[in-house]
Amino acid sequence: MIIALLRLETRRALRSPMLWGAVILVIGWGVLANWWAQPYWPLVVIDTASLLLLIGAAMLIYGHLVATRVVRHRMADQMAAMPHSGIARPLAETGAVAMVATAGALVSTMGILGSLLPGSVAAGKPDWWELIAGILAVVLVAMIGTVLGRWTASLFAAPVIIFVLGTSILTGLGGLAALLHPVLSDPPPVLWDRSSGRHVVYLGALILAVTGLAAVAWGRYRAGVFLALMGVVGSAGVILSSTDGSRLAAKQECMVRETVTYCVYPGYEAWIPLWDDVVSTVISNAPAQVRATLPPIRQRQRWNSLPIDQHQDGIYIGRTWGRHGGESDSRRILAARVAAALTGLPREWEQNTTGEGLTCDARGQARTVLALWLAGHAEPQQLPSVEYERFDHQGRKIGVEYASDMGWIQWGSVELRYAELLTEVPHVEDRIWSNWSKLVSPETTIHQALPLLGVHADLPVSSPEGTPCS
């Protein structure tokens, strides 16, 4: 009888628009979120596991409706006359909801991960335990719906539970509280101390506890209390034996390609050729003696975050890189920062040692034109128009500023236009290399450099609007 009911409930659940609506939403959201960025597998897996909770939420509502339909349709007396035990129907309902939720999670996972294969250079290795934990979280949330339906038939119960769970996850609580979440919220994967294998055990224990509550609701008090206690003790044991989920100082690995040093977090080595294509293009247009002075390319959690060591030299690059057209932004920013370093413009660590968000204005300086000319060989440059949220090395927001691709350096349309004119000058490389020291001096203005560069134009004079870059 239970098997027959299980098949019936499974067929009903598979026809539910809630399930397939959630699956389509999760796949669409996951594909869109990752479409313009190269995948970093540890982060992709955690993001996918987080999205799967939407399927859990849909099945929670569905499970609650299934468990309460006898009460809502006033069929309690008719169902009591059916030839099956009192536990058969709720057991079949719960089992069907759990299985269908698992199937929906698997279909969504394959859709999201499959979309990342074409046209991508993946970094890192996927933590499959984290993905298993995400699927178990879907089962856990879905089972709560059928159990909840045995305690209350209110239609507001399921949405309230979803709101409470969602708020708990989205608040991003840190420390030990973060381990209570079914998935990581706002994770910095390379710097996060949490065992995904332990988390799978923890979620399994919670599922056992929910099963115990379900047994109590079905009238199996002894078995239910025993399972619930076992689940609570098991989950508590995992939490207490785990670390506090604190951020760790991940050790970077450095390697040299030609004359350039790249320092990256573990797993990001696959992106170094993508960066090197930009860097080598820019530095090939600078004198040989200048190329050797290029600081290391150092990875940071964000493109505009401060280094952990505020006096650590380097050209900073974030933990994202574009694809499917999004790589043009990544290439443009890296090219601009490399060019700024070659021409002596201040870099982030020099401008922000106090963390106060200091900026400087490089309008009117010849080296600004030179930097834009160098960067333009790798990717066309754009006017500064991006509003950055600035963060310190601990991830705390410390301000919002308008900055250019070169960092906290301002420049305008006049400098960009002169850089474009340089590309039209025959043998301009010889002119630039022979006058390099003069051109990169902060004291040399654009109009002083024009005869040296062979540019004949009379564009409006550009003057700094803020603190001049020194």
Global confidence as pTM:
0.78
In the structure encoding, which two tokens stand for residue 2, read together?
């239970």
Answer for the pair 361, 469: CB distance below 8 angstroms, yes or no: yes
Residues 428, 168: Cα–Cα separation, whole Å: 60
Which of 392, 381, 389 shows the shortest CA–CA distance to 355?
392
Q: How would DSSP label each residue in 171-230?
A: TT--GGGGGGSSS-SS--GGGB---HHHHHHHHHHHHHHHHHHHHHHTT-HHHHHHHHHH
3-state helix, strand, coil in the chain (%, to 5): 55, 10, 35
- pLDDT, position 1: 64
Task: Give the count of beta carbons closer than 10 Å to the beta carbon of residue 442.
Answer: 15
Q: What's the pLDDT score for residue 21?
A: 95
What pLDDT, on the 0 to 100 scale, is given for residue 314? 82
Under DSSP, the state recorded for 117 is S
Closest CA to 402 of 387, 420, 382, 391: 387
With contact defined as beta carbons under 8 Å apart, do 254 and 268 qualify? no
For 1, 79, 296, 308, the CA distances from 82, given in Å and listed in that order, are: 11, 5, 75, 68
Cα(11)–Cα(15) distance, rounded to whole angstroms? Answer: 6
Parts of the chain with a pLDDT under 50: 175-176, 186, 188-192, 244-249, 306-311, 349, 351-357
Contacts 24+ apart (CB under 8 A), 435-444: 436/286, 436/287, 436/290, 438/366, 439/343, 439/366, 439/367, 439/370, 440/343, 440/344, 440/366, 440/367, 440/370, 441/366, 441/367, 442/344, 442/365, 442/367, 442/468, 442/469, 442/470, 444/365, 444/366, 444/367
Q: For residue 275, what are its two tokens? A: 């960066």
d(CA 44, CA 21): 22
To 10 degrees, the CA torsion angle through 93, 94, 99, 102?
A: 130
Decide if 435 contacts 367 (C-beta within 8 A): no
Report the distance separating Cα 350 and Cα 311, nearest Å: 8
